């Protein structure tokens, strides 16, 4: 990995600089850390684990459903009426504007981006758009309660691990030479931190935090509307734009529990930028799936909590090694 000069640093955390550097404290770890270390090698797995825990653990799915069921029923009723009443109109729209503009949308009557399809593409595309609209309508009725359910899911997951507030210790730097992170107030990173994808810059000024909240309320969805007219590929493109910011947003409770300042958070993410990109992409992609994405928006909090728990276990190990209380690695790799 190329050296980042002190006077020049990436504007956006996670900028690719080439090469791979092995993460320190991942080899010869104690037996009680081996499973956590193995999971940390592939962060998207926490999205799957979070979903599995939500649908199998009564202590998680029962409180979430109790909080959301009334809003879901009201939203589903309105969404069904909307879908049935507007299906023919929307299908006509697809046929006139999308099917007849294959260079823009990649759609034709029998093919998607030139690939032959075994079904009636106009009808399928219409159902795809309707499912997205149905999800939006249901979310409108759930917005407040589902936010509470997400927060509770994270807290209940942490509580299920039997860890109190004192278990989360101050940040410990794991690299001998951590990357230099430049605090940037303006620029592309600030723009992308809010409505264009939650890609947060190194310095969270008051303005960028307002943008982040606006994004969580749906501002990014408004700017991502054009991607909804590109079936299949659109959700992947949008998920990539939102990947890093989504992961950072999901770990805000973790950073708060460790009382990390802005510089520490930015450095922490920069050192694990591809882990955060991978987890954020998987989480954002899952949340953009029609209907079931609402479930993932809760389960991703569970996955983020479990990832935070494993990261903290490694932080404890690093602190013990540096304090001489645990055997460590004699020559730890440098961030170069």
**179 φ, ψ to 5°?**
-65, 145
Burial of 300 (0-12, 13-18, 19+ CB in 10 A): buried
Structure tokens at 46: 């926490």
pLDDT by residue, tens only, the chain of 336 residues: 444 444 444 434 444 344 445 566 666 677 777 888 888 889 999 999 999 999 999 999 999 999 999 999 999 999 999 999 998 888 888 777 666 655 444 455 555 555 565 566 777 778 878 888 899 999 999 988 999 999 999 999 999 888 888 889 999 888 878 887 765 544 444 444 444 444 333 333 333 343 344 444 344 555 555 555 555 666 788 888 889 999 999 999 999 999 999 999 999 999 999 999 999 999 999 998 888 999 999 999 999 999 999 999 989 888 888 887 766 544 444 444
Cβ 182 vs Cβ 12: under 8 Å: no
Comparing CA positions, the residue from 329, 307, 330, 5 lying closest to residue 161 is 307
Tokens of 114: 């030139």
Locate 130 and state its tokens. Answer: 């309707």
**What region does 226 belong to: left with phi over 0, alpha with psi -120 to 50, or beta?**
alpha
Q: With residue 116 as reference, give the H or E element that holds it.
A: strand 115-116
- pTM value? 0.73
């Amino acid at each position: 990995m190329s050296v980042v000069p002190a006077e020049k640093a990436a504007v956006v955390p996670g900028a690719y600089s080439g090469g791979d550097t092995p993460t320190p404290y991942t080899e010869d770890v104690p037996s009680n850390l081996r499973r956590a270390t193995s999971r940390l090698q592939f962060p998207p797995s926490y999205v799957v684990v979070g979903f599995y825990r939500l649908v199998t653990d009564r202590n998680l799915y029962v409180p979430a459903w109790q909080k959301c069921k009334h809003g879901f029923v009201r939203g589903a009723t309105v969404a069904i009426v909307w879908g049935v009443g507007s299906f023919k109109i929307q299908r006509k729209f697809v046929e006139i504007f999308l099917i007849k503009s294959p260079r823009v949308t990649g759609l034709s009557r029998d093919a998607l981006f030139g690939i032959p399809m075994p079904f009636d593409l106009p009808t399928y595309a219409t159902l795809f758009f309707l499912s997205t609209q149905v999800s939006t309508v249901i979310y409108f009725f759930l917005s407040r309660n589902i936010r509470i359910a997400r927060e509770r899911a994270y807290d209940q997951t942490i509580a299920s691990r039997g860890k109190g507030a004192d278990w989360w210790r101050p940040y410990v730097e794991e690299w001998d030479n951590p990357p230099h992170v430049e605090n940037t107030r303006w620029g592309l990173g600030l723009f992308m931190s809010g409505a264009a994808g939650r890609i947060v810059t190194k310095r969270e000024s008051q303005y960028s935090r307002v943008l982040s909240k606006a994004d969580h309320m749906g501002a990014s969805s408004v700017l991502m509307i054009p991607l909804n007219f590109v079936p299949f590929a659109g959700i992947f493109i949008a998920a990539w734009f939102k990947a890093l910011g989504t992961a950072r947003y999901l770990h805000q409770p973790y950073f708060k529990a460790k009382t990390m300042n802005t510089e520490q958070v930015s450095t922490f993410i920069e050192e694990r930028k591809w882990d955060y990109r991978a987890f954020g992409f998987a989480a954002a992609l899952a949340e953009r799936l029609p209907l079931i994405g609402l479930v993932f928006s809760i389960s991703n909090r569970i996955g983020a909590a479990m990832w935070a728990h494993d990261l903290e276990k490694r932080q404890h190990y690093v602190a013990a090694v540096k304090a001489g209380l645990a055997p460590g690695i004699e020559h730890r790799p440098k961030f170069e």
